[in-house]
Amino acid sequence: MKNNIEHLAIIMDGNRRWASTRNLPSLEGHRNGAKTIKTIVSHVMEINIPYLTLYAFSSENWKRSDDEVSWLMNLFSFYLTKELAKLIKNGVRLKIIGRLELLNGRLQNQINEAMLLTKDNKRITLCIAFSYGGRWEIIDACQKIIDSGNKEINEIDFKNYLCDPEMPDVDLLIRTGGVSRISNFLLWHSSYAELYFSSKYWPDFHKVDLINVIDDYSKRQRTFGEK
């Protein structure tokens, strides 16, 4: 499939509701959602989208129960360990953005090691937004600018203070779960993104669904406010 998407971003919503409709614990929704990530990342690689960002854990998610937060941290740690060799083999550069200082030391070390070991890979960049909020990212950038003593900046300068200065603007932002909002995700980078809201819960979002979304995107005319 041909596409002109440089940066695809996905809000992976609906894991807990998927589990609830099946009378399963919410943790089973997260477990199945993690399996969907592997399928979607594989297909994104097949169709040569060079940058993929997934919203995995938001700043607001810290307000969930201690048990659920702990389980999500362990799940993330498990998949970092389990999938790292595959990421390296398949040429995936891994980036993790967010308030990582809030994570425990062991998980921080895992993240740093994974990013270091994949930093030279060039096939695709997989960015995971974890402990992340778009407003925080912008405020954090402003504080860095103040600390630098820089008195005058433009958009290009400002981007250099964001979590990932190399991150391209989002072309297509998908949210699953039947909710039509972007929930504090990549606010700077999504200014002119095309939005697509799927009614499917994330564990039910498959390769064919991604194909259909990209087909819809390909029929849109992007004017970036010029017309």
pLDDT, tens digit, for every residue of 184-219? 999 999 999 999 999 999 999 999 999 999 999 999
pLDDT higher than threshold 60 for residue 2: no
pLDDT higher than threshold 60 for residue 91: yes
pLDDT value of residue 1: 47
pLDDT in tens, 11-56: 999 999 999 999 999 999 999 999 999 999 999 999 999 999 999 9
Q: Which amino acid is at 73?
A: M
* Structure confidence at residue 136 as a pLDDT band (50, 70, 90): very high
Beta carbons of 176 and 11 less than 8 angstroms apart? yes
> Which residue of the set 3, 4, 13, 171 is catalytic?
13
CATH code of domain 7-218: 3.40.1180.10
pLDDT value of residue 97: 98
pLDDT value of residue 223: 74
Beta carbons of 124 and 51 less than 8 angstroms apart? yes
Q: Domain extents for the chain?
A: 7-218
Q: What is the mean pLDDT of residues 150-173?
A: 96
Residues near 174 by beta carbon (within 8 Å), at least 6 away in sequence: 8, 9, 10, 11, 196, 197, 198, 210, 213
> Which residue of the set 3, 15, 61, 140 is catalytic?
61
13 is catalytic: yes
Q: What rounded mean pLDDT belongs to the chain?
A: 95
pTM: 0.94
* Structure confidence at residue 227 as a pLDDT band (50, 70, 90): low
Q: Closest by alpha carbon to 88, among 119, 49, 46?
A: 119
* Structure confidence at residue 222 as a pLDDT band (50, 70, 90): confident
pLDDT value of residue 29: 96
